[in-house]
Amino acid sequence: MTTAPLPVQDLPDLFRQALDASDHAALITDLDGIIEYANPALLQISGYELEELLGAQCRIFQSGLTTPSVYQALWQTLRGGAIWEGELLNRRKNGELFWQHLHITPLKSGDTVSHYFSSASDLSEQRAIQQRIDWLSTFDPLTGLPNRSQFVNRLKSAIQDVIGTHHCLTLVHLDIDSFSAINERYGEQESDRILKQVGETLRGTIRHGDILARLDGDEFGLILHNNQIDEQHPEAVQRFMDSISGPISVNGIETELSFSMGIAGFPGDGSDADSLMHSASTARLAAQAEGGNRFMFSHGGPVVSKNARLDLIGQLRRAIDKDELVLHYQPQVSLFSGEISGFEALVRWNHADHGLVQPAQFIPLAEETGLIIPMSEWILDAACRQMRDWNRQGLPALRIAVNMSARHLHMKTLPEKIAQLLAHSGLAPWQLELELTESMMMHDVAVVIGIVDQLKNLGVQLSLDDFGTGYSSLAYLSRLSINALKIDQSFVRDITSNPVNASIVQATIAMAHKLGMRVIAEGVETEAQRIFLRRHGCDEIQGFGFSRPVPAEQAGQMLREGRRLESSTPAADDHDLPTLMLVDDEPSIISTLRRVFHHQGYRLLCANCAADALELLAVNHVDVILSDQRMPDMTGVELLSRVKELYPKTVRIVLSGYADINAVTDAINKGAIYKYFTKPWDNEILREEIRRVFYTLRE
Ligand code: C2E
Ligand code: MG
Ligand code: MG
């Protein structure tokens, strides 16, 4: 075999400089893995000095934690002359582990492979964030107990385990009586302390193998194996109740804590996890309706009567025909401009006897019975028509968000229905935002992805609601091309006092932005929460702090009055803001664009000819430049080709008419420009596209 010259010596100076300057870790080894070149980025990530690496075996980075089969595949691929790409868990000099995504290429000298070149990006931060998100999406950060989604999964597997055996399961649904009164009286911090303490007490009562979870707010769930409590032995249940109830001290005052408990057994009270959960929670509601401080078994409770349920279903069915459903609208506010950026439509049932009934009390039943389909169609139609009405009154064209139901999302005809609805109402597709939840998308993934793609093609926006309460893989999310992510209120609630939630919110914002998504925080009630979110780059907020959901009339009034956040925190210093340059010879276009990007958190620079633009570029750092194509002194493409040479890091975008498309496409192919938008443009879409460009710059 001919010995190839050392690539390190062989490297033309320019290439070497490029490798040295790369922020990706680069390494060149000989065929035995002996290191011949390492760039500064690798030294920084690994903590080694260059002298320590040159001549060393590349095994020096191995952590011993990557499975041997990965290395076998790696060497097999390389020896076959092909490129290997994959992830390795490596170790720094100081012993710390770090993940790398590697791309290893065999380098040839003539026909023979002489060296291997590896280029890697550091995945540690991304992995750590993913792990945190994974933990927080399956555990409740306050009590450290599993959360609802994990509980349901564990219930499903517990059911699978006992099917076909003589064993049985008991599901207990527990709720603290009058917890909202405790909350109001003693405040959030004390209430959290009580919840923690209840979690501890319950933990002390369960046997090994049983499962305890915090389902939501003050609700806990237990999965018990083998008849530890059943109807034949109510005294055992009473003993359990007694062991967890009683006085506790809050702020030095004794307060009596009691529970309502619903009990359902498998297989008697339900054949799967959903029906069992439903049976236990209905029994719990029955116990509560009887005044609380009691337990009820699923099949004996008076409230669970079939007739009452049938009656309620009938009423709900008629509610749609009788026009008893109403929509309330809750504004979403931009943290950059302080202005209302959209509304979420939230349904209520105006019941003849019970007044305004909240969705939590009838949506689950509607889901279960399928009534949710006609109901959702009514809601979509009403929401689109309302936004269209506001537009017709000359109020700003904004987004209207509508909550989707799982059943509706799985209907193959949904995209067609939505297309008809948009055509019928005359609403621009981007104005409709469909809110999906993680759990909705976890079943029949292939079907859902198909439907979601079709919805996207219609031009409607998609957001992911209640983020953090389900289980989402970020890879999956990025495949769905979601426009916005709504951080669930359970994270926002104690964001200023709970470091775990604060860091998860920060990580979520960073991650969502990397994926090009807008972030909306839900349930923002206080100024401190708002400032925190603003500081960490959250785009929008929705919550009682700005406004509760209100009837259409009041929402329209807010728009007419131009209601906005009182003290939208200004960004620290204009010069710290990312810079957007606008170039157009038409003064009216410049002023329209100024308005479009006003209050969006950018520093704006404007030029009305290419020469001015170049002058401004010479004295200012510009992140993104948006230029007209037809200008008297120079075309946009020409200007941007020069910018590419002078300031390669500036992202270059052209705004052009259809007539110029050929020149522009050619420029894109040559890499002179990054993107083009056509005139006339849609303000909201342009704003969103530019926002996405800035997100990618933050990486
Ligand atoms: P969601 O989609 O997450 O809606 C947000 C809920 O949070 C609303 O409750 C809203 O009133 C409440 N909220 C907003 N800001 C705050 C705040 O600052 N503090 C607190 N504590 N709460 C706040 P709402 O209207 O009771 O709706 C509850 C859920 O019912 C919704 O959760 C959604 O899942 C479902 N829902 C509501 N309307 C519809 C609908 O039209 N269709 C479907 N399928 N589901 C709906
Ligand atoms: Mg929602
Ligand atoms: Mg939500």
Q: CA-to-CA distance for 9 and 324, rounded, in angstroms?
A: 81
- Torsion angle, CA of 520/521/522/528, rounded to 10 degrees? -140
Residue 568 has pLDDT above 60, yes or no: no
User: Per-residue confidence at 476, pLDDT binned at 50, 70, 90?
Assistant: low
User: Per-residue confidence at 305, pLDDT binned at 50, 70, 90?
Assistant: very low
Residue 461 has pLDDT above 70, yes or no: yes
Q: CA-to-CA distance for 622 and 689, rounded, in angstroms?
A: 17
What pLDDT sits at residue 567? Answer: 61
Written as one letter, the residue type at 298 is: S
Residue 5 has pLDDT above 50, yes or no: no
Query: Going from the N-terminus, what domains does the chain have, and what CATH number goes with each?
Result: 8-122 (3.30.450.20), 130-304 (3.30.70.270), 323-561 (3.20.20.450), 572-698 (3.40.50.2300)
In this structure, the residue with its CA closest to atom 35 of ligand 1 is: 359
Q: Ligand 1 centre and the CA of 410: distance in Å?
A: 21
- Torsion angle, CA of 147/148/152/158, rounded to 10 degrees? 40
Q: Provide CB contacts within 8 A for 196, sequence distance 6+.
A: 142, 143
User: Per-residue confidence at 8, pLDDT binned at 50, 70, 90?
Assistant: low
Q: What is the pTM (predicted TM-score) of this model?
A: 0.57
Span 501-517, pLDDT tens digits: 788 888 889 888 888 88
Across the chain, what does the average pLDDT equal?
A: 85
CB of 440 closer than 6 A to ligand 1? Answer: no
Mean predicted confidence (pLDDT) in 648-669: 81
- Taking the CA of residue 479 as centre, how many other CA atoms within 13 Å lie in the half-sphere pointing to its CB? 12
CB of 543 closer than 6 A to ligand 1? Answer: yes
Most confident range (mean pLDDT) of 15-24, 138-147, 176-185, 453-462 is 453-462
Q: CA-to-CA distance for 661 and 681, rounded, in angstroms?
A: 15
Reported residue count of the chain is 699
Residues around the ion ligand 3 (C-beta < 5 A): 465-466, 522
Burial class of residue 54 in the structure, from the number of CB atoms within 10 Å of its CB (0-12 exposed, 13-18 middle, 19+ buried): middle
| Closest-CA residue to 500 (of 127, 126, 124, 143) | 143
| Residue 630 tokens, joined | 């037809």
Decide which of 651 and 271 is more confident.
651
Mean predicted confidence (pLDDT) in 474-503: 79
Q: Ligand 2 centre and the CA of 98: distance in Å?
A: 37
Residue 378: φ, ψ to 5° = -60, -45
Q: How many CB atoms lie within 10 A of CB 14?
A: 8
With beta carbons less than 8 A apart as the criterion, state whether 615 and 649 touch: no
| Residue 583 tokens, joined | 């170039």
Give the E-state strand segments of 409-477 in sequence order: 432-437, 461-467
Cis peptide before 648 (omega within 30 of 0): no
Q: How far apart, in Å, do the first and last CA atoms of the chain sit?
A: 44
Pairing of strands 579-583, 399-403: unpaired
Please choose from 326, 343, 346 the residue to mutate so as to test ligand 1's pocket, defined by most ligand atoms within 8 A of CB.
346
Of ligand 1's listed atoms, the one at least distance from the Cα of 366 is: 44
